């Protein structure tokens, strides 16, 4: 439910791009929702043009009481430039200036980070070493220490077998192929690996397939929602000096 409070032109439009859907909400500087949480289907094999058009269509009901935009993107992003997008159109996303394209379309400054990183900012407690998993179209991760983002690592593309990386192993294609029972066994194995390798203080699991988890989670593991994670868009601006996130202004 959106928070009822006076809106000003100092708000943030937060966008979460996923392989299955694009989500958006209007936030105040503290991450409180000022509008309804909206989403639409991500086109199959989405190109950069598809994504920009999808964003423009999705945000039409949202009042233009924001002066900046945050985007979580399902791939590796550096200085506003998309380097990889494994679950969108093939061979269409290398070195794409998506932040610039959205800034030009919306006529607002834009900050863009990996979608798991944005979700991490929205859900973590800010105490110790915390990890975020997103189990949706692919497998996303974010690492944070005392609430601050650590450098993004595409851990989903580490091999877990001779033929598969983590994306292949627990992404949605695997879920649909092997079914709920075997997928849960695989996710449980992934959690055990991360527990051993990273010795995290807390693990958060979100994404569309998190609702299918059917095994008991340890006390330091918490399920979160995309609605929680999209609130991290406010922190991309509120704590900007800490993260040194690249800002792209409209041309």
pLDDT one digit per residue (tens) for the chain, 251 residues: 444 444 468 899 999 999 999 999 999 999 999 999 999 999 889 999 999 999 999 999 999 999 999 999 999 999 899 999 999 999 999 999 999 999 999 999 999 999 999 999 999 999 999 999 999 999 999 999 999 999 999 999 999 999 999 999 999 999 999 999 999 999 999 999 999 999 999 999 999 999 999 999 999 999 999 999 999 999 999 865 566 678 999 99
Instruction: Determine contact, residues 68/111, Cβ cutoff 8 Å.
Output: yes
Burial of residue 251, with CB atoms counted within 10 A of its CB: 0-12 exposed, 13-18 middle, 19 or more buried: exposed
How far apart (Å, rounded) are the C-alpha atoms in residues 82 and 76? 6
Strand duo 77-78 + 110-114: pairing: unpaired
Could you give the residue range(s) of every CATH 3.30.420.40 domain in the chain? Answer: 11-117+231-243, 120-228
**193: which 2 tokens?**
């690996």
CATH 3.30.420.40 fits 120-228, yes or no: yes
- Burial letters 18-41, b for 16+ CB under 10 A, else e: bbbbbbbbbbbeebebbbebbbee
Residue 9's pLDDT is 81
**pLDDT computed for residue 1 by the predictor:** 42
CATH number of the domain located at residue range(s) 11-117+231-243 in this protein: 3.30.420.40
Q: Which residues pair with 96 in a beta bridge?
A: 82
**DSSP label at residue 170:** H
Of 127, 91, 132, the residue nearest 113 (C-alpha): 132
Q: In whole angstroms, what is the distance from residue 20 CA to residue 142 CA? A: 19
Instruction: Count other Cβ atoms within 10 Å, centred on residue 57.
Output: 10
Task: Check: CB of residue 221 under 8 Å from CB of residue 205.
Answer: yes
pLDDT of residue 190: 98
């Amino acid at each position: 439910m959106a928070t009822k409070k006076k809106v000003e032109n100092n708000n943030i439009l937060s966008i979460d791009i996923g392989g299955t859907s694009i989500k958006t909400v209007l936030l105040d500087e503290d991450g409180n929702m000022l509008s309804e949480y909206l989403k639409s289907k991500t086109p199959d094999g989405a190109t950069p043009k598809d994504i920009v058009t999808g964003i423009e269509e999705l945000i039409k009901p949202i009042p233009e009481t924001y002066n900046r935009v945050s985007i979580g993107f399902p791939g590796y992003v550096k200085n506003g430039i998309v380097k990889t997008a494994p679950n969108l159109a093939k061979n269409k996303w290398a070195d794409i200036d998506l932040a610039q394209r959205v800034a030009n379309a919306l006529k607002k400054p834009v900050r863009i980070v990996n979608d798991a990183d944005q979700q991490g900012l929205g859900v973590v407690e800010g105490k110790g070493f915390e990890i975020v998993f997103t189990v949706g179209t692919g497998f996303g991760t974010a690492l944070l220490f005392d609430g601050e983002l650590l450098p993004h690592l595409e851990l989903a593309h580490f091999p877990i077998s001779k033929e598969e990386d983590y994306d292949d192993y627990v992404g949605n294609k695997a879920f649909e192929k092997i079914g709920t029972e075997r997928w849960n066994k695989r996710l449980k194995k992934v959690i055990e690996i991360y527990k051993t390798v990273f010795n995290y203080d807390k693990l958060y699991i979100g994404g569309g397939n998190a609702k299918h988890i059917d095994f008991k989670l340890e006390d330091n593991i918490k399920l979160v929602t995309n609605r929680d994670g999209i609130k991290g868009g406010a922190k991309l601006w509120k704590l900007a000096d800490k993260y040194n996130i690249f800002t792209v202004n409209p041309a």
